Structure 1
C-alpha cells in the first residue's frame, strides 16, 4: 500500500483520490471547499478543509510520509506553484500537477514537478485522432510524442502475418497485443506467422509521427 496526498478536490482531483483509494492505497486530501471535502470524506482515509500553500498545513494531513502528491487546483497557477514548492520542502519526490495550459505546464516543470497532466488537451487529441481515422479505436499518449494506439487491421493486411508486414522495420512501431473482437481473445504472446483477420485490432506502440504514417499507409 502506498500513501498519496491530493490537493484540490474538483472533478479531476476527486476522481484521482477516489480511484487510488479503491485500489487499496491510503489517500489524504485537502481542499478549501468544505462541500468538496464532505463529498469525499467517507471514501478516502482522510479529507480536510484547508489550503496547500503552506507546508505546515500539508504536514498536518500527513503529507511528509506520502509516496507521491497530486495537485489539482484548477486555473490558479499561483496556488499550484506554491503547493508544489511546499510539497518539495516536505521532501515529496513525486509530484504530479494538473495544468490548464502549456505555459502552466512549463512553469510547473521548472519548479520541479515530476509530471504535468493536461486532461483537456489529452482528451481533445484522443478524440481528434479517433474521428480523423476510421481505423483508430483507442489512443493513449504514454509520453510526449510517444503513444499507444489500438487500430483495426486494414483490409489489405488481412491474411498477412506480422512477420510479413515487419512493422518495426517498415514504420518503427511495435505490436504489443492483438485483440479479436469476435472471440474476445486478447493476446500479448504473439505468433508472428499467424494470419491477421478482419476482426483483429492491433495494439501498437511508437512515436506519434510513425503511428500517423502507419495509419495513412494502411
Structure 2
C-alpha cells in the first residue's frame, strides 16, 4: 500500500464519526489520504467515498509496516472505541518513526498517556466541541476557539460602545485585555483591524486575548 504520495499524505486510523469526517474532509481538500480500520462494515461503508481504505489491524507493527505507514509524515489515530487500541496503534506509529502523530483522546487520563509516549498533538473532539458550544450558548459570541489553555479568539457583532470611533480611542487592550484583530462590514470581507479602523453597528469583529478576558468582554460589553 506504500505510495509515492505517502510522504505528503495523511494516514488516518479509525473510521468512526471523527476519523471518517477527518479523512473525507482532507480528501476534499486535495490531500492523499489512506484510511485504516479493523471493522469490515466501516471499511465497506467508506470504500466508495474514500480513495484508499484498508481493513487492517493498526495495533500490529508488522501489518502497518507492510501498509507503508513508516513512509507517511503525518498520521492521525482517531480510534474512539477503546483506550488500549488507541495507545497501541499510536505506539506503533511512533515506533515506525512517523514524524507527526495526532491522536484522539477519550478522557484526560487517556490524553496524559498519549502525551507520555510522545504524541505530537492530543485531540479532544468531544470536550472541545462541548466547550465551544457552551461559549456560543451565551448568545453573544458567534464563534469561539481556544487556541491554548488560556488564549482564545472569538467572533461577535461589534458592540455599540466601541462603534463610531477609531479603535485606538477605545482603549480595549488596557480596559479589557483584548485586541480586535479583524473586522468585516456587512456583505464585505474580513480585513486586518488597525488603530484607525472605525466600526459601525452590524460589523463583525474578531477578538483575541486570554480566555477569561475574552469571556469577560463578551459578557460585559459584547451584548451591548
Aligned equivalents of 1:166, 1:185: Cα separation in 2: 26
SS of the residue corresponding to residue 186 of structure 1 reads coil
- Further displaced range: 69-78 or 158-167: 158-167
Aligned equivalents of 1:119, 1:35: Cα separation in 2: 23
Query: Given the alignment, which residue of 141, 147, 152 partners 2:157?
Result: 152
Structure 1 residue 141, shift from structure 2 partner: 2.0
Matched, 1:140 2:145: yes
Query: Given the alignment, which residue of 66, 77, 84 partners 1:60?
Result: 66
Structure 1 residue 216, shift from structure 2 partner: 2.9
Query: Given that residues 163 and 192 in structure 1 are in contact (C-alpha distance below 8 angstroms), is that contact kept between their aligned partners in structure 2?
Result: yes
Aligned equivalents of 2:24, 2:61: Cα separation in 1: 23
TM-score, scaled to structure 2: 0.89
Matched, 1:86 2:80: no
Within a 5 Å distance, the mapping from 1:38-77 to structure 2 comes to 38-77=44-83
Structure 1 residue 163, shift from structure 2 partner: 1.0
Query: Given the alignment, which residue of 13, 17, 28 partners 1:11?
Result: 17
Query: Given that residues 7 and 29 in structure 1 are in contact (C-alpha distance below 8 angstroms), is that contact kept between their aligned partners in structure 2?
Result: yes
Query: Given that residues 140 and 219 in structure 2 are in contact (C-alpha distance below 8 angstroms), is that contact kept between their aligned partners in structure 1?
Result: no
SS of the residue corresponding to residue 128 of structure 2 reads helix
Aligned length: 215
Structure 1 residue runs of 5 or longer lacking an equivalent are: none
TM-score, scaled to structure 1: 0.91
Structure 1 residue 45, shift from structure 2 partner: 3.7
Q: In angstroms, what is the RMSD of aligned CA positions?
A: 1.7
Cα–Cα, structure 1 residues 168 and 59, in superposed 2: closer, same or farther, change >3 Å? farther
Structure 1 residue 191, shift from structure 2 partner: 4.2
Aligned to 1:198: 201
Aligned equivalents of 1:60, 1:42: Cα separation in 2: 23
